[in-house]
Structure 1
Amino acid sequence: KNHRGTWQSCLFSSFLLVVPSAPPQLSVASTSPTDIRLTWQPLTSQHSRGAVTRYRIDYSALDQKGTVFSVELRGNETQLTLRELRPNQVYRLRIAAGTAVGFGVPSEWVLQQTIVLIFAPSELKVRTRVTTLNVTWQPSPNHTLVSGYKLSYREAETDGFSIRDRTSHALTVRLRKKARHHLLTGLAPGRQYEVRVWAFDKQKDGAAAVWKGRTDKIHVKEPNMTSIRATANGSTSIWLRWEKPRFINVRIINYTVRCSPAGTTNASLVSYYTSSSLEILLRGLRPFTHYELAVRSNGVNTAGPFSSTMVEATLPDRPSTPPEELQLRALNSSSVLVSWRPPLEPNGIIVSYKILYTVNLSEPEDEWRNLSEGGGIFSVEVHGLSGGTRYFLKVGASTKVGSGPFSPVMEVQTPLSTYELDIHAVTGIIVGVCLGLICILLCMCFSFRNGKPRSVFTLYACFLF
C-alpha cells in the first residue's frame, strides 16, 4: 500500500467518528408577525458521536435563497427565537449539530411563514343611551384574512370600591366576519364603560380598538323654567334671576346656567355656570353684545331640561381699540386728506371721530388743533396748513359713553408753495398795452397826413392828454 494513501484513509475514518451522524429533529412555529420560534431535542449518543458543543441555525427568506443567515448556539441550548423578521413572509430553516471537530450534516430545509398582522378595526364609534351602547366600526385594513370579530366590555370605574369588590370582569361576545355593529343592553345608567373590538383568525387575535365613555344619566322630565329675568348690569355683566320649577318631586341641589353670544355656532364660546341660589351675576362678558341665556335645575344624579332661551345685551362702553388703517395724503401746500377705518372693538355705536394735528409733537394734547366728524364719516380734508411743513396727526373714536384710544401718531409733509399767475390781471395788462400801441399808430398816421411831422414824444404826449 501507498503509505500516504493509508494515512488519508485513517484520517477520513477518524473524522466520521467524531462528527454527528444526523441532525437534530427541528420544530418551528411563528409566534408573532415578526418572530419564528425553533425548538429541538438533543441528539442521542448513537448519533452525536461525542460531545455536542454547538448548534448552527441557517435561515433565509424563500424568495432570497442566495442570502443565508447563520446563528451559532452553545451545545446545551434547545431553542431559539428569530426576531425582526418580515410579517407574512415564508422562511426556510435548518439546523446542524457540531462537535469540537466540526458540524455534521444539516437537516432538510423546513418552511415556515410568519403570521399575518391583523390590524385593529377602524372608526370605532359608540352611541350612548341610558342602559345601552350601540357599537359600530369599520373593517380592518386586511379584513379579508380575518375569521370574525370579538367584542368585550366592562365597567371601567370603581366609585370608591376596589376593582375586586366591583364586578368588572370583561364580558366577550364573538361576532361574524360581516358584523359591523352590536348593541349592548342591560347596562347601568351614568356608568363608565370600556369597550374593545378586535378581529381574529384561526390562529390568533388582532389588535383591538378601544372606546371609553359613560352611559347617559336618567333625566327627570320636569317642566321648563319659565320665570327667567335678565338685566344688564353694565358693559361686562348681566344679572340673571329665575324661580324654582313647580310640581316636581326631586330635591334640587343647584342650577346650571348656559351663556353664549347670540347666534354663535362655535361650541368653545358657550360657557356654563353653577349657582345654588335663584340668581347669578354673569361677569366677564363683552360690551354691547347680545347673549343667549338658559337655566336648568339639577338633582341627585339627575338633571332637568334647559329652559327656553332668552336674549339680553350688555351695555355699551368706550371703544377698546383705536380707528384702524389711518392714511395721510398731502393734496397741496395747505391741505391734507385724512382717511381711516372704524375700530375693531367699538363697544357701541360710534357717534363721532376726533382728528388731532400739530407741528410740534412735544406739545400737550390739549394744545393740538382738532377737527370733529360724525360717526359715519371715514375721511376729511384738513385745510389752512402751511407749505413745506411736517404735521403730526392721530384719530380717535367716541361712543355715547366716552372716547376711546387714539391711533398711533402719523406724519405728513406738505409741499412748498408755488407762484401762481392771475390770469385775469395778465389778460387786462396785455389788452391795455395793445390799445395804447394802436392809439400811437393812429396819431402818427394822422400827423403825417397833415404834413406836420412831430416827434414821438409829442405824439405820446398827445396820446396821454
Structure 2
Amino acid sequence: MPGGSVNLTCMAVGYPMPSVKWVVGVEDLTTEDDMPLGHNVLELTNIHQSTNYTCVAMSTLGIIEATAQVSVKALPKPPTSLIVMETTATSVTLTWDSGNPEPVPYYIIQYRAKASDTNFQEVDGVATTRYSIGSLSPYSEYEFRVMAVSNIGRGPPSDPVETRTGEQAPSSPPLHVQAHMLSASIMLVQWEPPEESNGQIRGYRIYYTSDPDAPLSTWQKHNTDDSRLTTISSLTTDITYSLRVLGFTSVGDGPPSDVLQVKTQHGGELLGMVNNTSVLAGSAG
C-alpha cells in the first residue's frame, strides 16, 4: 500500500563467496565499502512508487544479477467524464470514463434525490461504463456519482452530475375541490394541486353534467390554466350538476377527482353543494 514498507533479501552462493549489492537504475544503494558477502537485505520505507530493484552479486569469477519488482497498490482513481445520456420519467442512463490506467474490475454508482436529505443509494457490481438506473420518481432532481473498485478497495467518487427526470401525467387528482354558485347560472370552482403532479401542471379540466350516470367523455368540458379556480357560466337553473376536476401536464391527463354535486335554483345565489351524502346549504335569493 502507498506509504508501506518492505525488506528485500538477496542471497548469492559461490566460491569464492561473492559480494552482494543493491542497485536502482544506475544508482548504487550499497556502497563498495559495505558490500556484504553472500547476503544483503534492502530495507525500504514510506514507498509511494512502483520500482524495480536489482541485486548484483560479484566475485573474481564474474557478475550475476536478479531483479525484484516492488509494486505500490493504490486505490483506483475516480472515474471521469460522468454524463447523463438519456432520461425518462423513471430512469436515467449514465456513461463515464474509467479514469484509471489499469482495468477496473467493477464500479459502484451512488445516487439520491436532491429534494431529500437521505443518504446515497448504491448500485454495486457495475461491470460496464454505461448503466441505466430505474425506479426513479418522475420530474425529480437527482444527483449521481461513480466510484471505481479494485481488489484494494473502492476509490474516491467522481465529480457528481445532476439531472431531472422527465414528466408523466399526474398520478393523483386535484385536492379539496369545492364549488358554489355565484349566481343562478354562474358556478365558482376551486381546488388545490395534486399531490403527485409528476411534472409541471399546464392546466386543469373541469367536467360537468346534469346526468352523472353518463360516461365522462360525454360530460361538458371547461379548460383553464394552471390557476386554482375558475368560473363556469350559462348553467341551467333549478338543476343539480355533477362535476369532476383533473390536472394535466405536457404528457397527459391525470385522474379526475371524486364527483362533486352542486344544485342551482331559480333566482338563487348560493343554493347548495352536495358531496357524496353531505349537503351544505347556502342562502337563497
Please tell me the residue identity of whatever aligns with 1:231. Answer: M
Is 2:191 aligned against 1:345? no
The offset of 1:221, in angstroms, is: 4.3
Larger Rg: 1
Distance in 1 of aligned mates of 2:104 and 2:78: 14
Corresponding residue number in structure 2 for 1:336: 187
Please tell me the residue identity of whatever aligns with 1:416. Answer: H
Distance in 1 of aligned mates of 2:165 and 2:236: 47
Corresponding residue number in structure 2 for 1:363: 214
The offset of 1:277, in angstroms, is: 1.3
Corresponding residue number in structure 2 for 1:389: 239
What is the TM-score normalised by the length of structure 2?
0.65
> How is 1:8-407 mapped onto 2 (pairs within 5 angstroms)?
220-248=74-102, 252-267=104-119, 270-274=120-124, 275-375=126-226, 377-407=227-257
Q: Residues 170 and 196 of structure 2 are in contact (CA less than 8 Å); yes or no, is this contact kept in structure 1? A: yes
The offset of 1:350, in angstroms, is: 1.1
Please tell me the residue identity of whatever aligns with 1:298. Answer: V
Please tell me the residue identity of whatever aligns with 2:89. Answer: S
Distance in 2 of aligned mates of 1:232 and 1:285: 13
Distance in 1 of aligned mates of 2:138 and 2:75: 36
The offset of 1:263, in angstroms, is: 5.0
What is the TM-score normalised by the length of structure 1?
0.40
- Larger relative CO (CA 8 A, sep 6+): 1 or 2? 2
Two-structure CA RMSD over aligned residues (Å):
1.7
Distance in 1 of aligned mates of 2:79 and 2:105: 15
Corresponding residue number in structure 2 for 1:412: 262
The offset of 1:371, in angstroms, is: 0.7
The offset of 1:220, in angstroms, is: 3.5
Point out where structure 1 has 5 or more consecutive residues left out of the alignment. 1-218, 419-465
Q: Residues 335 and 414 of structure 1 are in contact (CA less than 8 Å); yes or no, is this contact kept in structure 2? A: no
Distance in 2 of aligned mates of 1:289 and 1:232: 15
Point out where structure 2 has 5 or more consecutive residues left out of the alignment. 1-72, 269-285
Specify the SS of the correspondent of 1:322. Answer: coil
Please tell me the residue identity of whatever aligns with 1:252. Answer: V
Please tell me the residue identity of whatever aligns with 1:354. Answer: R
Greater share of helix? 1
Per-residue CA shift, 1:414-441, capped at 9, x if unaligned? 12337xxxxxxxxxxxxxxxxxxxxxxx
CA distance change for structure 1 residues 223 and 300 in 2, over 3 Å: closer, same or farther? closer
Per-residue CA shift, 1:139-194, capped at 9, x if unaligned? xxxxxxxxxxxxxxxxxxxxxxxxxxxxxxxxxxxxxxxxxxxxxxxxxxxxxxxx
* Superposition misfits of 4+ residues, deviation over 4 angstroms: none
Q: Residues 76 and 149 of structure 2 are in contact (CA less than 8 Å); yes or no, is this contact kept in structure 1? A: no
Per-residue CA shift, 1:375-397, capped at 9, x if unaligned? 2x111111111222111001111
Identity %: 26
